[in-house]
């Protein structure tokens, strides 16, 4: 069905003959080709989405098929070469695959860092039983787990939700649910993957970096998520559901668009090159290898690198050239990385404008906050008058002087810093505070986060938090205030006490669920007003 679709709708204009004949009857010439697709962009999008679902399913099926699961095999070999310091840079395509599927899934835990662990993790992934690792076990035939080999590459959450609706040919007719998309189970998976924080969610767009001494960047997630709310109330607003779907589409830009079939073939090319260029070395240690043994090359090399350390479950190989073999493999792999290391990432960049590559996290740089400026802000804040009602030029705005603050994260792709967003619930008042420099507050350690957030809050009230027609009024301290993040609230409260802020102003509370919902709604409404001056 898909081949017919692609051939008649995309490769050829199946309406061309009928249109030409119809126009000829009236003595007219047709105008343009593929008018059906040009006039129906939604149809084009649905066909592209269906095509991506089909190709992703095929790619994952091929990539997970043992023993020829070339991508998982090469991932284990690549990790060994990288961990031994034999590669000058990361293989960005494989790093993106690890980020998309998690090291836990691929390596059965964190990526192994020692020779004795390379083969252990590989054997677990290929279905060997844990009894193989018993210290007092004698060598005999391999024992396999009752479970099948691990499916290392997983289907994207978005693909899993929509596949039954768009790929009905792959399902039994009786098994297709009446509402195959947003079931409760599907929504839970969506929210769990998106992990949209109560304060805000933004795609931490990844950017390329070539420093191999750095570590892959992972996105931090807030402790409070919409998943917890949904699990409790079984309810979501339309905005919350769409936000989760949007976040997941952005998060899965790579995993949904990556061409696993192409990456599979490049992994095969790498292993075949290793076999051809290292033939003499491989023969001396493993004997002559045939083409059908190419997928097993990573297992041979990992077994050899492990040496006698794992002879309880793998007959040791004679010789002491473990470093020689892995160094030769790394040299070949390095050529592939320099030539094709970002091929799949570049494809996804061209297909999805929200994805800009992957990054490698720089060594942590502590926040360099001028403590004298912070202390000056504390002294000025302590001198502020404190009113129960908000001073205002209009009687309508003279309501309870309560403020809620939240950390709002803006996409790195736009080169914006994180900011603190204030609202006064039940009032049409809001304010935002931005660091002087493009500080990614969400990337800081918790203690540094608290320091900069406290400084921005104090500085905001000292400067004056009212805007518009009330901007001329004298600054004042809040009567009550709250924060939407529990951990951050506790940190702010402790920091205010330590800095010597007036006792009654240290009572920062955790925002209620209603306050958080209102803050989210106001932020979604007024975010453009906040961002426009910064663009």
In the prediction, which pLDDT does 205 show?
35
Residues 165 and 182 sit within 8 Å (Cβ to Cβ): no
Q: Domains (ranges, CATH) in the chain?
A: 1-33 (no CATH), 65-133+260-345 (no CATH), 371-534 (3.30.420)
Strand partners, 404: 423, 482
Which pLDDT tens digit goes with each residue over 195-253?
543 333 333 333 333 333 344 443 433 334 555 555 566 666 767 667 766 666 666 77
Phi, psi dihedrals of residue 234, rounded to the nearest 5°: 60, 25
Which pLDDT tens digit goes with each residue over 381-416?
999 999 998 887 665 557 889 999 999 877 544 456
Which residue, among 128, 66, 69, has the nearest Cα to 77 in the 3D structure?
69
In the prediction, which pLDDT does 48 show?
81
In the prediction, which pLDDT does 85 show?
84
Q: What is the pTM of this model?
A: 0.57
Strand partners, 433: 420
In this structure, how many other beta carbons lie within 10 angstroms of the beta carbon of residue 475? 17
Radius of gyration for the chain, computed over Cα atoms and rounded to the nearest angstrom? 29
Helix axes 260-277, 322-340, angle to 10 degrees: 140
In the prediction, which pLDDT does 223 show?
32
- Mean pLDDT (the chain) is 75
In the prediction, which pLDDT does 248 show?
64
In this structure, how many other beta carbons lie within 10 angstroms of the beta carbon of residue 107? 23
What is the percentage of the chain residues whose pLDDT exceeds 70?
A: 67
Which residue, among 469, 532, 517, has the nearest Cα to 235 in the 3D structure?
517
Answer yes or no: is pLDDT of 518 > 60.
yes
Which pLDDT tens digit goes with each residue over 281-332?
888 877 888 888 888 899 888 888 887 444 333 333 444 456 678 889 999 9
- Strand positions, DSSP E, 111-222: 215-216
Cis amide prior to 83 (ω within 30 degrees): no
Answer yes or no: is pLDDT of 144 > 50.
no
Q: Which long-range contacts (CB under 8 A, 24 or more apart) does 524-530 make?
A: 524/239, 526/430, 530/419, 530/421, 530/432
Could you give the CA distance from residue 517 to residue 302 in angstroms, rounded to a whole number? 52
pLDDT band of residue 133 (cuts 50, 70, 90) is very low
């Amino acid at each position: 069905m898909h081949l017919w679709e692609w051939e008649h709708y995309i490769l050829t204009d199946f309406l061309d003959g009928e249109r030409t004949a119809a126009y000829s009857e009236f003595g007219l010439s047709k105008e343009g080709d593929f008018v059906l697709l040009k006039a129906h962009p939604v149809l084009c999008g649905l066909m592209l989405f269906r095509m991506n679902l089909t190709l992703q399913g095929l790619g994952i099926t091929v990539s997970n098929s043992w023993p020829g699961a070339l991508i998982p095999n090469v991932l284990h070999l690549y990790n060994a070469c990288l961990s031994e310091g034999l590669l000058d840079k990361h293989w960005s395509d494989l790093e993106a695959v690890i980020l998309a599927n998690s090291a836990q899934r691929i390596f059965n835990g964190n990526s192994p860092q020692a020779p004795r662990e390379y083969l252990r993790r590989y054997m677990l992934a290929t279905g060997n039983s844990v009894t193989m690792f018993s210290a007092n076990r004698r060598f005999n035939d391999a024992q396999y787990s009752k479970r099948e080999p691990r499916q290392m590459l997983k289907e994207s959450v978005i693909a899993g939700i929509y596949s039954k609706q768009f790929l009905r040919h792959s399902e039994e007719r009786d098994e297709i649910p009446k509402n195959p998309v947003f079931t409760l189970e599907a929504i839970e998976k969506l929210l769990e993957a998106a992990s949209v924080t109560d304060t805000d969610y933004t795609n931490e767009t990844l950017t390329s970096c070539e420093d191999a001494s750095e570590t892959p960047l992972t996105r931090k997630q807030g402790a409070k998520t919409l998943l917890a709310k949904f699990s409790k109330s079984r309810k979501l607003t339309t905005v919350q559901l769409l936000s989760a779907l949007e976040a997941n589409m952005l998060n899965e830009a790579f995993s949904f668009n990556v061409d696993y079939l192409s990456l599979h073939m490049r992994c095969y090319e790498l292993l075949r090159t290793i076999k051809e260029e290292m033939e003499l070395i491989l023969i001396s240690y493993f004997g002559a290898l045939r083409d059908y043994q190419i997928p097993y090359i990573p297992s041979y090399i990992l077994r050899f690198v492990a040496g006698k350390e794992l002879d309880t479950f793998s007959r040791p190989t004679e010789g002491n050239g473990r470093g020689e073999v892995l160094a030769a493999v790394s040299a070949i792999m390095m050529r592939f990385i320099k030539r094709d290391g970002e091929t799949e990432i570049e494809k996804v960049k061209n297909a999805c404008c929200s994805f800009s590559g992957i990054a490698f996290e720089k060594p942590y740089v502590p926040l360099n906050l001028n403590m004298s400026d912070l202390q000056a802000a504390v002294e000025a804040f302590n001198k502020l008058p404190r009113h129960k009602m908000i001073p205002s030029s209009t009687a309508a705005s003279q309501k309870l002087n309560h403020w809620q603050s939240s950390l709002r994260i803006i996409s790195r792709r736009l080169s914006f810093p994180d900011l603190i967003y204030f609202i006064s619930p039940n009032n049409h008042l809001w304010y935002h505070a931005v660091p002087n420099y493009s500080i990614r507050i969400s990337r800081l350690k918790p203690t540094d986060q608290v320091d900069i957030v406290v400084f921005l809050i104090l500085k905001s009230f000292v400067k004056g938090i009212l805007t518009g027609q009330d901007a001329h009024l004298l600054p004042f301290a809040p009567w009550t205030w709250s924060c939407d993040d529990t951990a951050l609230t506790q940190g702010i409260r402790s920091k205010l006490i330590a800095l010597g802020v007036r006792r009654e102003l240290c009572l920062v509370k955790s925002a209620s669920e209603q306050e958080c919902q209102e803050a989210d709604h106001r932020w979604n409404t007024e975010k453009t007003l906040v961002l426009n001056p910064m663009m």
